[in-house]
């Protein structure tokens, strides 16, 4: 897909649609996909992501310290493109429920994730207890590369579980992936009732 999705007249111009697929930020990277759903009158905009990998960066405990993060600038640019899209949605429809999920290939305290959060989103991974807050193991280090961010007004209604069925095991043990799934439970009741009152 080469045509970019936009949000106009309270709906996506393409459903589903790619976000800024021809922008240089997405060069040699999977393009983020936005889709619109309606749940009992609540508009939900879901965004699926797989941001640029850390391939080429120094190892966390390598000979170069501080670590050189050569892949990070591209993830920051991706964060801006997706963030600009979510801001467009929120400006036109403050009641829209935005849920952005996927493999961001970075940590919750990193510049790309902080940049993305600055567009009015909350990273629910931060609420997971520290001893369970990981979705990937690399060279013996547990890491959180997979995140779920939601609109600010959904942060109290969203609960997260990181299900450790893959990262704690090897390929020989039969794991399905090297990443763990994340389960999000979102209660839209408050939002739906609020919108009913506004009508």
Taking the C-alpha atoms of residue 86 and residue 151, their distance in angstroms, rounded to an integer, is 9
Average pLDDT over residues 147-169: 91
Quick one: pLDDT at residue 199? 66
The fraction of the chain above a pLDDT of 90, given in percent, is 67
List pLDDT tens digits, range 53-102.
888 877 777 778 887 888 899 999 999 999 999 999 999 999 999 999 99
Quick one: pLDDT at residue 59? 77
Selection from 85, 93, 97 nearest residue 122 by Cα: 97
For the cut 90, the answer to whether the pLDDT of residue 151 exceeds it is: yes
Quick one: pLDDT at residue 192? 75
Average pLDDT over residues 187-192: 84
Mean pLDDT of the chain: 91
List pLDDT tens digits, range 30-46.
999 999 999 988 999 99
Taking the C-alpha atoms of residue 166 and residue 118, their distance in angstroms, rounded to an integer, is 31
Average pLDDT over residues 104-115: 96
Domains of the chain in sequence order: 7-132+145-152 (3.60.10.10)
CB 100 within 8 A of CB 88: no
Average pLDDT over residues 145-155: 95
Q: Which residues contact 66 (CB under 8 A, 6 or more apart)?
A: none
Quick one: pLDDT at residue 24? 96
- Cis amide linkage into residue 66, ω under 30° from 0: yes
Longest Cα–Cα distance in the chain = 61
């Amino acid at each position: 897909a080469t045509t970019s999705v936009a949000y106009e007249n309270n709906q996506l111009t393409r459903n589903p649609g790619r976000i800024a697929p021809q922008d240089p930020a997405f060069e040699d990277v999977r393009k983020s996909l936005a889709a619109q759903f309606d749940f009992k009158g609540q508009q939900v905009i879901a965004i699926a992501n797989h941001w640029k990998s850390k391939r080429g960066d120094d190892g966390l405990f390598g000979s170069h310290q501080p670590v050189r993060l050569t892949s990070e600038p591209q993830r920051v640019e991706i964060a801006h493109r997706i963030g600009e899209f979510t801001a467009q949605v929120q400006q036109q429809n403050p009641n829209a429920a935005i849920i952005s999920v996927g493999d961001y290939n970075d940590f919750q305290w990193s510049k790309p994730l902080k940049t993305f959060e600055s567009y009015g989103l909350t990273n629910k991974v931060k609420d997971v207890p520290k001893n369970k807050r990981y979705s990937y193991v690399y060279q013996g280090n547990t890491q959180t590369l997979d995140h779920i961010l939601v609109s600010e007004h959904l942060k109290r209604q969203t609960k997260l579980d990181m299900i450790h069925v893959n990262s704690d095991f090897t390929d020989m043990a039969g794991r399905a992936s090297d990443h763990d799934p994340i389960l999000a439970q979102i209660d839209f009741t408050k939002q739906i009732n609020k919108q009913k009152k506004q009508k």
